[in-house]
Amino acid sequence: MNQNHYAVIMAGGIGSRFWPFSRTNHPKQFHDVLGKGRSMLQDTVARFESVCPPENIYIVTNRDYYQLVKNQLPFLEDDQILLEPVGRNTAPCVAYACYKIASRNPEGNVVVAPADHVITRPDEFVRTIETGLAATAEQDILLTLGIKPSRPDTGYGYIQYLNGEAGSEIKKVKTFTEKPELEMAKEFLASGDFVWNAGIFLFNVKAILKSFEQHLPDVAEIFEEGNEDYYQEDEQHFVTKAYSQCKNISLDYGIMEKAENVYTLLSDFGWSDLGTWKSLYELSDKNGDRNVVDGNVMLYDTEGCIVKSSKDRLLVVQGLKDYIVAEYDGVVMICHKDEEQRVKQFVADAKEKQDRKFI
């Protein structure tokens, strides 16, 4: 196994679109969302077992989730759990991890992935990652995985690529477009040179650090100052100061959309970012009435619904069609699937009007 391969898993988000199941004190990445017997974080880590040594797996998460990570991944040393004092989006998250890795191994070759994605073909995923790491080991390029689109989805970002060399899976990126309108998404699919942006990145640490210096010099300066503190007792003190100085900015916006050496690796391994209840419904097995059921549930005259509840409660549903019914830890939410974008509004209103324990 290549000792220069590293996996950086981003596990700090709250996942508010999965409320009430995903909560501030226990976000969705720490739940067994798909009923597989392990959490999404555990599932993500397992996918990298053959890619890099276990000591080269790093989790970036909020300080509040340290114990959740330790409980679910007991093999990790504390140096492998990177604790953010506050969320500052993906650019500072990646900078922290890569500057830390580079301080110990300047030859580090990194894949960065969210903890809450679903991969239905893990063997093909591993093959794709190994193809990408082979490329980033040889070239100072920034690589992002581009998923072959199956529908004109308006909830994903799109990457347009240049065809270039025939037969190669790695293509030069031409443009990024974030969540287009439906008609534009249809045009993207018809053109044949657009893929979904999976938000999974690969690069060697020299290339990404150089990109931070060029495109986000303020972030580069902040995390370069930590070179004497990484893997030391003072690391958390340094990180607290660093994050207080960092702006909130994504890696896509801060670097990937600006750099010249950005490529996409065409991929097809059964991917979903599982961002919403509707996406969970679409991915899950359904019964004869097209219902997805998880928990202690009794259904009558109900079809096309996703119903999820705690095992210690009985949930009875009658007469619903195409609804989300979710019960967890003192909250019941009933919402039409086509109105699922309002879940964030529900959370915001509950935060304003209800006890914090419900958020």
Contact between 302 and 285 under an 8 Å Cβ cutoff? The reply is no
Extract the residue ranges of the chain whose pLDDT is less than 50: none
Task: Please give the pLDDT value at position 338.
Answer: 93
Contact between 176 and 214 under an 8 Å Cβ cutoff? The reply is no
Torsion over CA of 47, 210, 145 and 165, rounded to 10 degrees? Answer: -130
CA distance 299 to 167: 51
Task: Please give the pLDDT value at position 263.
Answer: 96
CATH dotted code for 5-272:
3.90.550.10
Please give the single-letter amino acid code of residue 302. Answer: T
**DSSP state at residue 181:** -
List where CATH 3.90.550.10 sits in the chain.
5-272
137-164 pLDDT, tens digit per residue, is: 999 999 999 999 989 988 889 999 998 6
DSSP string, 280-305: HHHHS---TTS-EEESSEEEES-BS-
Task: Please give the pLDDT value at position 1.
Answer: 86
Q: At what angle do helices 90-104 and 235-245 cross, to 10 degrees?
A: 140
Closest to 148 measured CA to CA, from 200, 201, 196 = 196
pTM of this structure: 0.93
Task: Please give the pLDDT value at position 147.
Answer: 95
210-258 pLDDT, tens digit per residue, is: 999 999 999 999 999 999 999 999 999 999 999 999 999 999 999 999 9
Task: Please give the pLDDT value at position 164.
Answer: 67
Place of tokens 């959370």: 347
**Exposed, middle or buried, 242 (CB in 10 Å: 0-12/13-18/19+)?**
buried
